[in-house]
Each structure stands twice: as structure tokens, then as C-alpha cells.
Amino acid sequence: MIKNDPSLAKKRDRQAEESQSKDRFIQDLVRLREKRDAGALGIQMTQIAQAMVLCGLPYSPTAETKIVRRARLGDGSTVSVTFSAGLDGIGMPYGSDRTLLHWMIDKAIKTKSPIVSWDTATEFLKDVGMADSGKNRKDLKQRYLRLTGLTIGVVRKGSTESTVLVPFIEESHLPTSVDMKAAKNGQSLLLLDTPTFGFRLGERIFKEILQYHVPVPFELLQATKKKSQLQDHLIFLYWRSFSAQTETLIPWGSLREQLWQEDSVTSRIRTRFKEAITVFKTIWPEINAEAEKAGLRIGPPKAGVHFLPQARAARRLPVPNRHEA
């Protein structure tokens, strides 16, 4: 017998892996519905940058080094977001990189500081419910490296105009390896030029996200951590439903400018939103949204029953900054 014969290696059963992934996701949805019915959903909220809710990163690896997304808000103002890969040899963030980005932004908003401590790699993996494995650590390192090269430009136009164009992460230092041995020895994931272990966001992008952010139930982010497109669509539906004063039809062309990576089948966005609405209805039957031929029709939830029970009371209160809702 020839040793190390590649033909003898166990082949991956991708069909079985996909089936297991679907089963886990269904279980996550069941837990979400149970927590919502018990009034326990939303005890832990994740603060997500509004610009990231309106204008998403690509879903797949891309050779593009600059991507522009545009969105129109309910008050008639517009938001344009430009994502640029700013470091040589490091590609554009994509896919589930957005979960790490949301996690980092949430940390900054909750501490109200652009400098955020991050002691070990296990902190992120534990928070989002991922195994502390060598593969996940390697993936985390690559995701973080792509984010270190990300430059974000945000242009808001309404009664006034504002522009922000800065690196997302202003300063950080990553060790040559992020592995289980390092964590067990207490090695930090990041080291700044201060006594703090962690990362420093760009000051201007920090002010942007501190002013404009959307509170999202952490469980929703956790359940979709490996389903980036579905995650974008569910968060968008959740936010638009909460902020809606009346029923609105959003043309598919407009949504493609906001959330869609280049796709040979331009009509596929409708299919993806139909899937997202179906998923949401299993845990939130009152959502008032339909993927029609002309566009996404969405309005206030049926009978005023929001995804979060506490949202009805919050919706009646005066909101100093409407963009946060």
C-alpha cells in the first residue's frame, strides 16, 4: 500500500455538510421564536452602523478595489458609501467579514471610545458562538487583515451635506500567528502603542457611527453569522419596518444599488428577499413585507407588533435622531 495516497483521503461530503448547516440554522430560528414568544429577545442588543445596514459589503471575493453603494432614506435624504481596499495585497472584505465588522463597531459604540480593548481571539469566537478551533482562528485573522485595509467614505445629502473618508481601522498590530497556544499563554490578539490591547477606529468614522447606528438583537446577528446575504436582508427588513411611517414600495433597482454584488441574473435579488421574508415570518408573523414584481413593499408591522416587544413603546417616544431608529 502506498502511504499518503491522495486517493485514499476521505472525501468531503458537501451534501451532508449543507444538510447539517440547514439543520443548525432551523434550530437557531426555533430558539429565536421561543425567545421572542417569551419576551426575552433583545435583552442583548448589537449596535450596527446605519451605513452598513443601508449599503453592504460584497458577498463573495472580488477583484474590485472600490465599490460604491447608494441609498435613499425615508426623509428624502441620501447616503452614499464607498468601500476601498487600501492596502497592497489585501483584498476587499466580503461575506462574513461583516459579522466581525459589526462586532467591532458595537464594541466602540458601547464604550463610546474609538480605542477598544480586545484581549484574545477567543473573545470574538465565544461572543458569536463559534468553536475555538485552529480553522476559525485562521479565518478570523484573515477577516481582520481585510478590515485593516478597508477605507470607508460616507456622503450624506439632505438639508445639509457631510462627507467622511477615512480608514476604518486607524491603528493596530497583529501577531504573526493567532493560534490556540498563544491564547493559552495569554497572548493578545492586538497591540496598540498604548497600554491597551485592542484596536483604534478612525476618529471621523467613529463619530459617524456614534451618531448614526441601528440597535439589532444580538441573536439575529449570531444566527446568521455564516449567511452574510441573508443577514443583510433580515437586518434591512427589521430596520425599515421599525422606521416605517407608511407602506412604501422600494424598486429592485434601488435595492441593487444598496445591497447587491454584481450578479449575472439581476432579478435574483427579488428571490433572495422572498427567502428572507419567509425566514422572518417564521419568527415574526406580523412583518408587513412582500417581494413584489416591481420592488420590495414594506410598511409598519401588522397590528403594530414589532419584532421586539419593547419596540412599540420606543416607537411612540420622541427620537432625537431619527436615523438611529
- The whole-number pLDDT of residue 319 equals 37
State the number of CA atoms in the 13 A half-sphere of 292 facing the CB: 12
- The whole-number pLDDT of residue 120 equals 74
Which among 214, 241, 236, 244 is positioned nearest to 324, based on CA atoms? 214
CA angle 51, 61, 252 (to 5 degrees): 50
- The whole-number pLDDT of residue 161 equals 67
Using an 8 Å Cβ cutoff, are 172 and 128 in contact? Answer: no
* Sequence-ordered list of residues with C-beta below 8 angstroms from that of 14, at least 6 positions apart, any chain: none
- The whole-number pLDDT of residue 192 equals 55
The whole-number mean pLDDT for each consecutive block of 10 residues of the chain, a chain of 325 residues, reads: 52 66 83 89 88 86 89 81 84 91 91 83 84 87 88 83 76 54 54 63 88 89 89 93 91 86 76 94 95 95 87 43 37
pTM: 0.79
Determine the Cα–Cα distance for residues 35 and 108; give it in Å rounded to an integer.
27
36: part of which helix (H) or strand (E)?
A: helix 14-37
- The whole-number pLDDT of residue 251 equals 92
Residues composing the chain:
325
* Sequence-ordered list of residues with C-beta below 8 angstroms from that of 240, at least 6 positions apart, any chain: 250, 298
pLDDT for 211-232, tens place per residue? 889 899 988 988 898 899 999 9
Give the position of cell 497556544.
Answer: 181
235: part of which helix (H) or strand (E)?
A: helix 228-243
pLDDT for 36-59, tens place per residue? 988 888 888 899 988 888 888 888
- The whole-number pLDDT of residue 297 equals 97
Cell numbers that stand for 106 in this block: 458595537
Q: Where are the domains of the chain?
A: 23-324
